[in-house]
Amino acid sequence: MNIQQLLYEKDGGFRLRGMRTTRFETFLDAAFAFATTMLIISIGDIPHTYTELVTALKGIPAFAASFATVLSFWMAHRKWSRRYGLEDFKSILISLAMVFILLVYVYPLKLMFSALFAWISHGWVPSEFSLSNLNELIHLFIIYGLGFAAMAFTFVLLYSRALNSDYLIPLDDVEKLLTRYEITSFVVLAATGLLSALLAAVLPINVAAIAGFVYVTLPVSIPIVSVIYKRKRDRLEQ
């Protein structure tokens, strides 16, 4: 290990190579901030009466779920940037593609959660998005699933880029294993989104609504991936 490697800060056994904030990272942060602003703006006009205020406050669950989803992608990119510090042409191009998808995906994201909470609450939570028939709901599942999968796939590309850039950032065996873990996790996320969109597209319309429940498998599938790679890391370190 050389002196430069010794100077790296560490986080969970991973050397942090991207501790300096760059203009590109500032741009990405601004794009994520703009996406969350779009979530807020989409609520509508400023309430002018108590009734309008209560109606607006009922939209908080949908906003919170949408905000948490956008924030999770921002945190994921922040972790990638801190770990690898890559700003080569391919990494920048993939990150820009991620921002583009995010800004397109943010409205289907909010409308999806808005419709979901309206359905769960039997209309008590107002929905900003009206659906005239079940067929429109199915198409909403397809749009959301493809957007979710596309966002996750950009992280598959980012981590794959880091894993294949050994000449730029030499990774030790533990770091390579952790990188493969991230790739596998985002592959699972992308596959879940694609599966939801596929089921919505091919199932009979009277049962295609189950496509929206595919995402409840994530609290099971992601921990399974984590356990598998934890065992691999334990064997590697032994």
Task: For residue range 205-223, list pLDDT tens digits in order.
Answer: 888 878 888 999 999 999 9
Tell me what pLDDT residue 22 has: 85
Tell me what pLDDT residue 6 has: 40
Tell me what pLDDT residue 47 has: 65
3-state secondary structure of 206: coil
Q: What percent of the chain has pLDDT above 70?
A: 85
With cut-offs at 50, 70 and 90, classify the pLDDT of residue 1.
very low
What does the pLDDT average to over 87-96?
93
With cut-offs at 50, 70 and 90, classify the pLDDT of residue 7.
very low
Q: Each residue of 13-35: b (16+ CB within 10 Å) or e? A: ebbbbbeeeeeebeebeebbeeb
Neighbours of 50 (CB within 10 A): 8
With cut-offs at 50, 70 and 90, classify the pLDDT of residue 15.
confident
Tell me what pLDDT residue 89 has: 92
State yes or no: pLDDT of 232 exceeds 80.
yes
Q: What is the pLDDT of residues 114-131, one digit of tens each?
A: 877 777 776 677 666 666
3-state secondary structure of 131: coil
